[in-house]
Amino acid sequence: MEKAESVLRKVQRLRPNAKFIAVEHSTEFTPPEGNIGGGFYTANLYDERIDANMVTLKQGPVMIQNTYISSFAYNLLVCWLSTPNALSDPIQSNLRKRLLSINFKKFFAEQLYRVTNRVPSRSLLIESLIFESDEMRPIFDRKAVDSELADAADHAVGLMSHLLTMHELAHHCEAVIPNFWEEFLQEHTNTIGDIYEFAKAAFEPKIVAEFLCDAFAVVFGVREYAARGKKFAIRVAAFSFASYAAMYTATASAEATASLWHQTYSDDLDFTSIEPMPHIDHDVVWKIDQSFLTRAQLVILLCQKLAEKEGMELFGSDEPFDLPEDIVHRMSMFIETVFDTENNTARRMSNLLAQAFTGHEKGMEYLYLRSKVFTSNRPEPLKI
C-alpha cells in the first residue's frame, strides 16, 4: 500500500494535469501468468495529454493507462457503427462525415485549449461544446435502445483500449524477457516477418520498435476480442490505428498552431468598449504525425495478412463493420475540417463568450469540465 501511494505521488508530479489517478499493482487484478517479471503497477487516469506509456520508477515499472484516449475513441466508434452502409449510401456517408468532423473538431479544440488558453482556442472549444454537441445526442439516444449497437460499440472500444494496453505490455515484456522479440517473430513469421523486414529497411529503428509493439498488441488483441468474429476484430484493429494516427496528427497540429499564436497573437481586450471586435483570421499550422501515420500503415499491412490467413477480406462495405481501403488517409484528413462551421451566428457568439472569459480561467475550466461525463473502469485481467 505504501509503495502504491508513492507511485501515485510520482505520477501526479509527472502528469500534474491528470485527473482521477488510481494506482494498483498487476497482482491485484491479473492471474499469475500475466505478472511477467514480477508484474508492474498501473496508473489509470484521465489526461488530455494523449499518450499512454510505460515508465520505470524506483518502485518498479508503471503502465500509465489514459481513459481520455478511449473516451474519444468510443465516440468515433459509435459514429461509425451508427451509420451503416456509409460506403455506398450517400445519405449515411454524409451523416458519418458530419459526425466524425464534429468529434475531431472537439478533440482538436480540447488539444488546442490544453496548450494555449486564448480567445481563438476558447472560441473553438465553446462552439464545439455549446453549439454542436447536441448533434451527437440522437446517436447516443439510439444506442441507449439498440442493444446490438451498444454491444458492438462496447466490444469495439474494449478492443481499442486493449490495443493500447498490450502495446505498453510489449515494452515491459521486451525489458524483462530474454529474446522476447526473436521468439515472437519466429512464432508469427508468416504474418509479421515480411512486414518487419520491409520496415527495417525503410524506416528508422524507433518506428520499427514501436511497430513491433503494435503488432504484438494486434495479434493478441484480435485473439482476445474475437467473440463477434475475427473479421470484426481485425477491422476494428485497423480502424483503431487509423484513428490514433489522426488523433496524434490533431495533437501535433494543435501544438504547432499554439506555438505560432504565442509568437504572433495577444489577447489584449478593452472591457470598457462596446465597439465590435475586428475579425481576425488566425493562421493555423497543419502538422502530420508522420511516425504514427507510418505505424498505422504498417498495421494495415499486418491486418491484411491476418485477414488473408482467415480467408477474409480486410476491406469491404459489408456489415457490421465496414472498412474502406483508404481508412488511414480518410481519418487523418478530418483535421482539415476542424475550423469549418455551418453556423456563423454560433461562431460569433462563441467568439464573444471566449472574449468574456479572458482573465477568468476558472470559469472557462468550469464550463469545460461540466461538459464531460467521467467514468472509471477497472482494467481487465491481461491475457497473452
82, 139 contact by CB (below 8 A): yes
pLDDT for residue 34 is more than 70: no
In order, the DSSP letters of 273-298 are --SPPPP----------HHHHHHHHH
119-161 pLDDT per residue, tens = 999 999 999 988 887 888 899 899 899 999 999 999 999 999 9
pTM for the whole thing?
Answer: 0.90
Q: Which residues contact 299 (CB under 8 A, 6 or more apart)?
A: 211, 214, 215, 218, 237, 238, 241
| C-alpha 190, offset from chain centre | 29
Is pLDDT above 50 for 193?
Answer: yes
For residue 165, pLDDT over 70 is answered with yes
Q: CA–CA separation, 236 vs 299, rounded Å?
A: 12
Burial 252-278 (b: 16+ CB within 10 A, else e): bbbbebbeebeeeeeeeeeeeeeeeee
Give the model confidence (pLDDT) of 308-363 as tens digits.
999 999 999 998 899 999 999 999 998 888 888 888 888 889 988 998 888 888 88
